[in-house]
């Protein structure tokens, strides 16, 4: 089965892969309805992942102003933190969620978002504990179960992580975000062929979104099939979004000349088998 070229290269590439994994799996911890139709967030607000740079900047400024007036508001606090994380301001997002969680200690959506912020800031054990507090054993939330898997993957506990993903799939069969996260788990251990199998299964689901397809593009690109990866990355997106995604994909895979190294490795493997 295909493996990443070197340990050093693997480590650098998978730093980006972990970000993609956690971003996807934890994004569902608070539903669109919860974020967009309650509290101080206008019902017309766009999902964070669909905003361009200008929309993100404007939304962040508005949410920040609301937060300053009422830092206890759970709906705006969660939304503001998600905007900050999308802008790479992980420390500030964590500080916001700490304040919101103090005022809303039993709110499941707040706890889920707090765990997301902790994971983004590298506080993995704390994030796992927080997500666990948000869960209810009698009515488990598959999104939180999958989120636990993502954090366990970041902690290097692949077997435990995959068990959690399968638990989530028992609750929500064929859920594309969970299938994609399971695939990313295999990326993290270098098993790209198995990863692609799960990614393609995820991308084939009717409810799969662009983030699932971007993870598939990453896995395909890591195996050296760059034109195919770019084609996948451009599907169903505006030209501007597609160009940004392809640029990000190329930047991730260009670390330590990984495009050339992986392509060279594929060529050497083919020659050895002839």
Asked if residue 140 is part of any domain, the answer here is no
Asked if residue 91 is part of any domain, the answer here is yes
Domain boundary among 114, 134, 154: 134
Asked if residue 73 is part of any domain, the answer here is yes
Torsion of Cα atoms, 184 then 189 then 190 then 193, to 10°: -60
Task: Name the DSSP class of 47.
Answer: P
Domain boundary among 89, 113, 134: 134
CATH number of the domain to which 3 belongs: 1.25.40
Angle between helices 74-86 and 108-120 (to 10 degrees): 20
pLDDT at position 19: 43
Count of domains for the chain: 2
Asked if residue 148 is part of any domain, the answer here is no
Q: CA 14 from chain center: how many Å?
A: 13
Would you list the DSSP string of 155-166?
TT-HHHHHHHHH
pLDDT in tens, 69-128: 999 999 999 999 999 998 889 999 999 999 999 999 989 999 999 998 999 999 999 999
pLDDT in tens, 113-144: 999 899 999 999 999 999 999 998 898 999 99
Asked if residue 106 is part of any domain, the answer here is yes
Asked if residue 180 is part of any domain, the answer here is yes
Task: Name the DSSP class of 138.
Answer: T
Residues 89 and 104 in one domain: yes
pLDDT at position 243: 80
CATH number of the domain to which 57 belongs: 1.25.40.10
Residues 191 and 118 in one domain: no
Residues 15 and 41 in one domain: no
Residues 7 and 39 in one domain: no
pLDDT at position 235: 79
Asked if residue 271 is part of any domain, the answer here is no
Q: Nearest Cα to 82, choosing from 114, 34, 128, 44?
A: 114
Number of H helices, E strands in the chain: 15, 0
pLDDT, one tens digit for every residue, the chain (274 residues)? 444 433 333 444 444 444 444 444 444 343 333 333 334 554 446 677 667 788 889 999 999 999 999 999 999 999 999 999 988 899 999 999 999 999 999 899 999 999 989 999 999 999 999 999 999 889 899 999 999 999 999 899 999 999 999 999 999 999 999 999 999 999 989 899 999 999 999 999 999 988 898 889 989 988 989 889 888 888 767 777 778 777 877 776 665 354 445 445 544 544 555 5
Asked if residue 143 is part of any domain, the answer here is no
pLDDT at position 45: 61
pLDDT at position 23: 46
Residues 118 and 192 in one domain: no
Residues 130 and 205 in one domain: no
Q: Which residue range is the domain that position 41 belongs to?
A: 31-134
**Within 13 Å of residue 35, how many CA atoms lie on the same side as its CB?**
21
């Amino acid at each position: 089965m295909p493996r990443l070229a070197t340990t050093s290269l693997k480590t650098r590439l998978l730093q980006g892969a972990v970000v993609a994994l956690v971003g996807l799996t934890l994004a569902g911890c608070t539903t669109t309805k919860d974020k967009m139709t309650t509290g101080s967030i206008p019902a017309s607000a766009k999902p964070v992942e669909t905003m361009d740079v200008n929309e993100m900047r404007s939304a962040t400024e508005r949410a920040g102003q609301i937060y300053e007036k009422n830092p206890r508001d759970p709906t705006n606090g969660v939304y503001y933190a998600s905007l900050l994380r999308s802008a790479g301001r992980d420390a500030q997002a964590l500080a916001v969620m700490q304040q919101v969680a103090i005022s809303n200690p039993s709110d499941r959506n707040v706890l889920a978002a707090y765990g997301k912020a902790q994971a983004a800031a590298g506080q993995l054990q704390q994030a796992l504990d927080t997500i666990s507090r948000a869960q209810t054993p009698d009515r488990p939330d598959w999104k939180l179960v999958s989120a636990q898997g993502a954090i366990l993957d970041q902690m290097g506990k692949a077997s435990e992580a995959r068990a959690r993903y399968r638990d989530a799939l028992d609750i929500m069969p064929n859920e594309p975000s969970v299938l994609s996260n399971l695939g990313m788990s295999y990326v993290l251990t270098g098993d790209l062929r198995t990863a692609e199998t799960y990614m393609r299964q995820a991308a084939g689901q009717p409810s799969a979104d662009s983030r699932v397809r971007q993870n598939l593009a990453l896995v395909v690109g890591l195996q050296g099939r760059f034109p195919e990866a770019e084609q996948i990355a451009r599907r169903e997106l505006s030209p501007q979004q597609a160009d940004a995604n392809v640029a990000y994909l190329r930047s991730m895979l260009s670390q330590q000349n990984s495009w050339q190294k992986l392509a060279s490795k594929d060529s050497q493997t083919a020659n050895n088998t002839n």
